[in-house]
Amino acid sequence: MTTDKRIEDIKKIIRDYQDFPKPGVLFRDVFPVVKDPSCFKKLTDLLVEHINSLPEKVDVIVGLESRGFIFGPIIAQALNIGFVPVRKAGKLPGELIQVEYSLEYGKDKFEIQKDAVTEGQKVVVVDDLLATGGTMKAACQLMDKVKAKVLDCLVVIELTDLNGRQKVPYQMSSLIKY
Ligand SMILES: O=P(O)(O)OC[C@H]1O[C@H](OP(=O)(O)OP(=O)(O)O)[C@H](O)[C@@H]1O
Ligand SMILES: Nc1ncnc2[nH]cnc12
């Protein structure tokens, strides 16, 4: 993604919290961007422009609980396509597919409804932030299990200097890198 004045404006209002939620973690809080309507519009426009620049047309936006739910649906709506949630274990009804994963400050389990994305559908996976990449990698494993085609794994913020970074198996894109 290219440099853009809008990215600088967004970067200015992301807030940092040292030692949250655990000692040693520098937490990057994206919520001030959502609170500022002009910045939030800039951010969603940038994400939509990025998706429109992909070589293939996207069928479904997949968002990761919970901060991926802030950005995913608004992007899907702008693109006039559907949004599908990937949720932490025990939240979704019906037949599910599950994976376990580890993230910067813990472990969790992700689930998707079996028929939410169908074989061959082209998806973009959206989240607010990539740290170790464990969360995004787990979402990709779910996409493999439903035989979706992942065109892009898109995050607002990417932490590039983190120890224990896990490889995300598909194309990764981020607006802001630290
Ligand atoms: O790259 P990783 O090391 O896996 O970390 C990134 C993930 O961590 C945060 O989610 P969290 O699980 O804290 O949940 P939340 O969105 O519900 O706050 C963030 O929103 C990403 O999903
Ligand atoms: N450093 C961080 N800041 C905000 N969200 C996160 N999720 C995982 N690591 C994070």
Residue 46: is its pLDDT beyond 90? yes
Question: Ligand 2 center to residue 42 CA distance, Å?
Answer: 22
List all residues whose CB is within 6 A of at least one atom of ligand 2: 25-28, 103-104, 129, 131, 159
ipTM, 2 decimals? 0.98
pLDDT digits (tens, 9 = 90+) for 98-151: 999 988 888 899 999 999 999 999 999 999 999 999 999 999 999 999 999 999
| Amino acid at residue number 94 | G
What are the boundaries of each domain within the chain?
5-177
Residues forming a β-bridge with 157? 129, 176
The ligand 2 atom at the shortest distance from the C-alpha of residue 128 is 5
Q: What predicted TM-score, i.e. pTM, was given to this entire model? A: 0.97
Residue 37: is its pLDDT beyond 90? yes
Regarding the beta carbon of 160 and ligand 1, being less than 6 Å apart is answered no
SS3 31: helix
Residue 3: is its pLDDT beyond 80? no
Residue 36: is its pLDDT beyond 60? yes
Interatomic CA distance for residues 178 and 59, integer angstroms = 30
Active site residues: 67, 104
Domain 5-177 maps to which CATH number in 3.40.50.2020, 3.40.50.300, 1.20.140.10, 3.30.200.20? 3.40.50.2020
Token pair 């896990």 is found at: 166
Report the half-sphere exposure of 49 (CA within 13 A, side-chain side). Answer: 13
pLDDT band at 80; cut points 50, 70, 90: very high
Dihedral over Cα of 140, 144, 147, 149: its sign? positive
The pLDDT of 71-90, averaged and rounded, is 98
Give nearest CA residue, ligand 1 atom 15: 66
Using only C-alpha atoms, the chain has a radius of gyration, in whole angstroms, of 16
pLDDT digits (tens, 9 = 90+) for 166-175: 999 999 999 9
Give nearest CA residue, ligand 2 atom 1: 27
Residue 162: is its pLDDT beyond 90? no
Do residues 130 and 158 make contact, with C-beta atoms less than 8 angstroms apart?
Answer: yes
pLDDT band at 2; cut points 50, 70, 90: low
Residue 1: is its pLDDT beyond 60? no
SS3 121: coil
Q: Give the per-residue pLDDT at 161.
A: 83
Looking at all shown ligands, the one closest to residue 101's CA atom is 1
